[in-house]
Structure formats: C-alpha cells, structure tokens
Structure 1
Amino acid sequence: MQELKIINEDNAEIIASHCYLADSFFTRFKGLLGRRQMSEGEGLLIKPCSSVHTLGMKMIIDVVFLSSDYQVLHIIEEMQPGKLSPVIKKSSSVLELPPGQVGRSGLKIGHRLRSISLDK
C-alpha cells in the first residue's frame, strides 16, 4: 500500500504522518478490519469512498469525508464500532484517523488537505 503524509493546508498541521492509501477493491474492503487500535499519526485514506461502516471493528475512529480536491465535507468524531455513516454524496474519499485526532489537529469542515507521498 502506498504511504502518505496528510497535511492541513489551512493551518499547516500534520493530520497523519503515516497514512496508507486503500484504493484497490481488496484494500478498501479490508480497511481497518481486524485492527485493535490505530497509533497516533496513523491514518487510512479510502478512495473512492462516500460512506463507511465500523461493523466488525473493535475500535473507535475519527472519520473525515473529502471532496475530489481534498476539501473537508463532513466529519464524524469518535465513530463507535458497529455503526454506519451517512452517505456523503460529494465525497470522493474518506480519511480514517485515531479517535481524537480531529480535535487535536483543529480540523474543520471547509479546510483543505494535501497528501504527500512517502514512497521512495
């Protein structure tokens, strides 16, 4: 999986220092299933994606819905296991983060994010 760094262009805050891109059928299907926790700085960018679920998951996550140009459209903080998100029609990708990361980073609807490839 491709590794990325995700930065908030509005406040230069690093949202995820080690974010993995899930852009194939298998990586999108698997997502975070089987994981017990996410480490600080970790993230999963699911693309394309307009809704997510936490069915079968054992951890709480923050969920950020992004437009095609990485503008934040919708945020779910601390989504509990066993839940379904709403469908965000204009979303082209979803960023899943450790719980509390949205609040710690000051991320808001309307902010624009940027991804930087960490692959060599």
Structure 2
Amino acid sequence: MAMLTVPGTPHPIPLEVARSARARRRGLLGRDGIEGALLLSPASAVHTLGMRFAIDVAHLDRKLRVVAVRTMRPGRVGLPRARARHVLEAEAGAMERWGIRPGARLVVRDG
C-alpha cells in the first residue's frame, strides 16, 4: 500500500491508488468506510451516487497540488475542476484533520 504525506502532518496516511478505469469507476462504492484515502488517477470529477457515507474530495493538479476541497453527501454529482488531473477521496472530515487544503502539495510514496 502507498502512503500519502501532507506538509505539516506528522504521520503518513495509508493510500490506495485506483489507476485502472475499472478501479476508478468503482471508487468507494459498496464500502462502509475507508482507512486512509483513495487516489483516483487520472480523474477530474467524481460522484457519490450509491455511496453509503459522505466523503471529502480533493481535486489535485498534475503536481499533486490541491486545487479544491469539498465534502459530498451520498447521491451527488460533482463537476469537473479546471486543472484537476487526480482526485483524492476520504471519509468526510478526514481532510480537515490532515490539513489538506487548497495550495498544499501532497507527496505519494510507495509503501
């Protein structure tokens, strides 16, 4: 499993990476939660149709800099974000705890 590092956060975050089209389509559907986060790459938008829980969504540019962060309740469709090349998903409230906010540059390390 990969790890996500956020500047100013002392501990790395467990990270799943969805690189295949099938893995990106599935995302967090059918799950009751996630330990850590899920990176959809490439992706510029997500939806929460059929989701069982609210999620935080961070849109990232090609250098993994955060473009925007929002919380989405189940049953919503998100619009694509300009400059977004990747989308990071986590349980609602996690990104605020981790300090993920617009402008932050994230680092992904293979673990």
Q: Does TM, scored on the shorter chain, surpass 0.5?
A: yes
For residues 13 and 72 of structure 1, what CA distance do their matches in structure 2 show? 19
For residues 37 and 110 of structure 1, what CA distance do their matches in structure 2 show? 26
For residues 75 and 94 of structure 1, what CA distance do their matches in structure 2 show? 10
Aligned twin of 1:7: 5
User: Is 2:13 the counterpart of 1:20?
Assistant: no
Gaps of 5+ in 2: none
User: Is 2:73 the counterpart of 1:75?
Assistant: no
Where does 1:48-87 land on structure 2 (aligned, <5 Å)? 48-77=42-71, 79-87=72-80
Q: 2:29 aligns with which of 21, 28, 33?
A: 33
Q: Is the CA contact (8 Å cut-off) linking 2:49 and 2:76 kept in structure 1?
A: yes
Aligned twin of 1:109: 102
For residues 102 and 61 of structure 1, what CA distance do their matches in structure 2 show? 10
For residues 10 and 103 of structure 2, what CA distance do their matches in structure 1 show? 15
Residue range with higher mean Cα deviation, 100-109 or 64-73: 100-109
For residues 99 and 28 of structure 2, what CA distance do their matches in structure 1 show? 24
The Cα shift of 1:17 comes to 2.3
Q: Aligned partner of 1:35: which letter?
A: R
For residues 112 and 57 of structure 1, what CA distance do their matches in structure 2 show? 28
For residues 61 and 54 of structure 1, what CA distance do their matches in structure 2 show? 8
User: Is 2:43 the counterpart of 1:45?
Assistant: no
More strand by share: 1
Superposition TM-score, scaled by structure 2 size? 0.92
Please report the RMSD computed on the Cα atoms of aligned residues, expressed in angstroms.
Answer: 1.3
Aligned residues: 111
The Cα shift of 1:65 comes to 0.5
